[in-house]
Amino acid sequence: MALDFLAGCAGGVAGVLVGHPFDTVKVRLQVQSVDKPQYRGTLHCFKSIIKQESVLGLYKGLGSPLMGLTFINALVFGVQGNTLRALGHDSPLNQFLAGAAAGAIQCVICCPMELAKTRLQLQDTGPGRAYKGSLDCLAQIYGNEGLRGVNRGMVSTLLRETPSFGVYFLTYDVLTRALGCEPGDRLLVPKLLLAGGTSGIVSWLSTYPLDVVKSRLQADGLRGAPRYRGILDCMRQSYRAEGWRVFTRGLASTLLRAFPVNAATFATVTVVLTYARGEEARPEGEAVPAAPAGPALAQPSSL
């Protein structure tokens, strides 16, 4: 369990490093003004950030997801695995329920982490910036708004994460079964990468409009007076001002991010587990035990 946890953390770090630039673009597109849009699309946003802020501008707010990564992985691994065992057997429905439970619990860390990330991604560069880092951002928010401010967007995060994690684990379980992912298969890693990347895309599509709402609520008041009174008011105002397309803002960069992030995560996890288990000491002359069929892939499905 400790080895799986460490491998998951390493995979999560790889995923964050690969996907954070896409996440920065997604947030910028989601919260820009409809009257005076700063960016014309995903590619223009990428180019503008690099031109104005250098490549480092794409990694604004990176510290926040990296700091919360270990805790999120611990919660997701622990809750998903224990829930699946408590439900009694491995089935598509139980994979969804276990994933949904893991998604709901990890919101305790995910919501403040994404709040800090969003604020840092949107702040101006130079000496006039409001926050020096993730911890400073959360400390200032707590000092000005209290615990409620730190947990701004918690309900929308919960509504997003609970079903999306369920869909992710369900899709991954179905795909790994359909692709015939078995221990010893020379195409096992590519199959796992394909299943993981596809599952990430499907899970994002399932709840993306709520992610737009969450980003707007967490960015509300950063540049001017607060506009929204809650989730429904945010949805209502956004729809009236920009139509239904507002709920797809930043979707292209999100989907571009989803596949490589999950691919990087699963590739790293596989490499770490392979090398770590290969280095385990065994008495001389003792045969390596055969990998069990079926259950051997149960743990990777909890990533």
The residue ranges of every structural domain in the chain are 1-123+132-277
Q: Is the pLDDT of residue 194 over 70?
A: yes
Question: 276 or 208: which carries more pLDDT confidence?
Answer: 208
Please report the pLDDT score of residue 128 as a whole number: 65
Give the per-residue pLDDT at 270: 63
What's the pLDDT tens digit per position in 103-119?
A: 999 899 889 989 998 88
CB neighbours of residue 290 within 10 Å: 9
Higher local confidence (pLDDT), 97 or 8: 97
- Tell me the per-residue pLDDT of 136-161, one tens digit each, with 9 for 90 and over: 999 999 999 899 999 999 999 999 99
Contact between residue 268 and residue 143 where contact means Cβ atoms under 8 Å apart: no
Q: How confident is the model at residue 88 (pLDDT cuts 50, 70, 90)?
A: confident
Average pLDDT, the chain: 82
Q: Whole-prediction pTM value?
A: 0.76
- Name 202's Cβ contacts closer than 8 Å, sequence gap at least 6: 167, 168, 171
Q: What is the average per-residue pLDDT within 179-205?
A: 85
pLDDT score, position 82: 82
Check residue 301 and give its pLDDT. 40
Are the CB atoms for 42 and 25 separated by under 8 Å? yes
Question: What is the Cα–Cα distance from 289 to 68, expressed in whole angstroms?
Answer: 36
Model confidence pLDDT, tens digit, residues 37-87: 888 888 999 999 999 999 999 998 888 778 776 667 667 767 887 898 899
Cβ count near 92 (within 10 Å): 13
For residues 279-299, average pLDDT: 44
Least confident of 12-16, 209-213, 257-261, 276-280: 276-280
CB under 8 Å to 156, separation ≥6 — which residues? 210, 213, 214, 217, 231
Dist CA 195 CA 199 (whole Å): 6
Using CA atoms, how far apart are residues 218 and 205, in angstroms rounded to an integer?
21
pLDDT of residue 273: 67
pLDDT at 284: 46
CATH no. for 1-123+132-277: 1.50.40.10
- Supply the pLDDT for residue 142: 93
